[in-house]
Structures are given as C-alpha cells and as structure tokens.
Homo-oligomer: A and B are copies of this chain.
Amino acid sequence: VELANMNRLFFRPEQSGLSKVEASLQTLRDINPDVEFEIFNMNITTSENYDVLLERIRQGGLQEKRVDLVLSCVDNYAARMTINQACNELGQIWLESGVSENAVSGHIQTMIPGRYACFECAPPAVVAGGGDENAIKREGVCAASLPTTMGITAGLLAQATLKHLLKFGTVSNFLGYDALGDYFPSYSMTPNPECGNRHCRLRQQEWAEHPEEMMRKYNLLEETEKKDDSNAELHPDNEWGIVIEDSDGCAASEEEEEKEEVVDTKGASVEELMASLKSLQ
C-alpha cells in the first residue's frame, strides 16, 4: 500500500507500507471478526505458485472441500490467463472483473467452463497474431483510477456472488458499466469451438454431451428442481441459532397475522367475482 492508493478510499494512511493483502485482511477482520481468512501474497503466474492456486481451489473450502466460487480481481492479462487455465482445468466457476485504464468503465463476467466463452476464447488481436502479450499493457500509460467506478464494479461483483451462491435473480454472463453514459450492457458469449485452451474445449464437449449432468455438476439447478419436497422446513437445524427479534416492528407477531382478512366467496372463482363486480357497475 502506497499513499498514492489512498484515492481508493479503502486503504487507510496508517496502512501505508503494508502489502495490499495484509491491509485488506486488517480491514475485513475489523468489519467481521467471525470470518476465517487465509491470505497468500504471491504471483500466481509462476509454475510453483500455480500449483498452490490449484490446490487451494481444490481444498480451500470448508472441511477441506473445493471452494464455492473464485473471484478474480487481478489487474493484468497474465494473471487472468492463469486463473482461466486453473478454472478450466478444474471445471470451477469463477467471476472475472475489471476496470478500464481510463477509469470510467468496468465489467464483471461469469465464467462457467465450457458453457460460456472462457478468457482465452476471444484473445486480444496482438496475442492471436502471435505477438508479445506484454504489448497489451502500453508502456508509459498511467492507468487512471476512480474509487466510484471501482466501488460500483466491486459491488456488482459481490451482488453476482450472492445471486449465484444463494440462487436468486439472474446472474448475467457479461455485465458492463459505462460511467460516462450510465450504460450497462449485458449479454452472453458462447465458447469458441476452436479455443486455444485444451481444457476449455474438453469442458465444451462435456456440456454438449451431458448438458443435464453438467447443470448438476456446476450446481446450476433451481432449488425447487433439486428437492423432492419444496414445502419442507427451510432451515430445520438452524445451525447459527438465528432468532427473529422484535425491534422496529420487524418481527412477525401472531396478533398481526390473525388480522388478515378472510372473505367467504361461497366457492366463487376470481373470474366469477370479477363478472359479478362488473354487473354492479
């Protein structure tokens, strides 16, 4: 963390000198001391560290299981390619995110290996033409940075995470943000059958051959499709001991529930009631 990073309004002046990983850990722990964090301050693009990345995706979850989701917040092509490679190899869903060099646009992208385009499916022209990928980051160009664009993009990323994991709403494949025009394009990108990534092509084949199995494997079925009885009690064990407290009128009181009006329609359907209503007008 350098003083120049203070414009992000996330790091604090006294954190200057810490690594960004350490400073983030501090801030996140202050916000929620009950979360277990595990940090690695390393370059994932070396082959040694790549193995650590693979291993932690495979066993970094609760009870040493696979993690639920990988969020990518890296700022360069090589790191994105590395995460893309790992997730294609493991068949791991990940969310990619980024903010443009001019700081006035951003995007998030849901990566489901073999189902949507992977990061390598549509390579930059310079890479596709066999050029040097380092040419992507132009020398001498100073990337601008706005905390607003970063905050909104990070917010959209966190929202997509909640929607994906808790299964509500629609998780867009691609969602862009153009700050100047308040424009938010959203669309889907099918994978490239000739993608340069072998694992992407393998995952595509799996989706083509066993689409239903893949929906299950990637946990993409609606809750109701998976359960035999959707009327079952939602949280029978209440692992976290959550209780509904009465404050600000936020508890469901039985008294109020009883107030609900019950009208005896004498067996008439809504259509019949509407017809009677009409005849009275």
Q: How many copies does the complex hold?
A: 2
The interface-forming segment of A57-65, A119-127, A180-188, A222-230 is A180-188
Q: A142 contacts B250, CB within 8 Å?
A: yes
A2 → B minimal CB distance (Å): 8
Q: A152 contacts B149, CB within 8 Å?
A: no
In Å, the complex CA distance between A146 and B158 comes to 10
Residues from chain B with a CB closer than 8 A to the CB of A9 are 31-32
Given A12-B31, A169-B104, A181-B169, the answer on whether A155 and B152 have CB atoms closer than 8 Å is yes
Residues from chain B with a CB closer than 8 A to the CB of A148 are 155, 158-159, 162
A194 → B minimal CB distance (Å): 27
A186 → B minimal CB distance (Å): 5
Is A33 among interface residues, defined by CB-CB distance under 8 A?
A: yes
A135 → B minimal CB distance (Å): 14
Partner among B152, B170, B180 whose Cβ is within 8 Å of the Cβ of A152: B152
What's the dominant secondary structure at chain A's contact region? loop
In Å, the complex CA distance between A143 and B247 comes to 12
Q: Sort chain A's interface into a size bin.
A: 35 or more
Chain A 148-166, CB-CB to B under 8 Å as 1, else 0, gives 1101101110110011000
Q: B13 contacts A249, CB within 8 Å?
A: no
Is A175 among interface residues, defined by CB-CB distance under 8 A?
A: yes
Q: B151 contacts A179, CB within 8 Å?
A: no
In Å, the complex CA distance between A6 and B143 comes to 34
Question: Told that A139-B249, A170-B182 touch, could you supply 8 new A-B pairs with CB distance under 8 A?
Answer: A13-B33, A104-B168, A152-B152, A152-B156, A168-B180, A170-B180, A170-B181, A184-B184
Residues of A in contact with B (beta carbons under 8 Å apart): 2, 4, 6, 9, 12-13, 30-33, 104, 139-143, 146-149, 151-152, 154-156, 158-159, 162-163, 168-170, 172, 175, 179-182, 184, 186, 247-253, 256
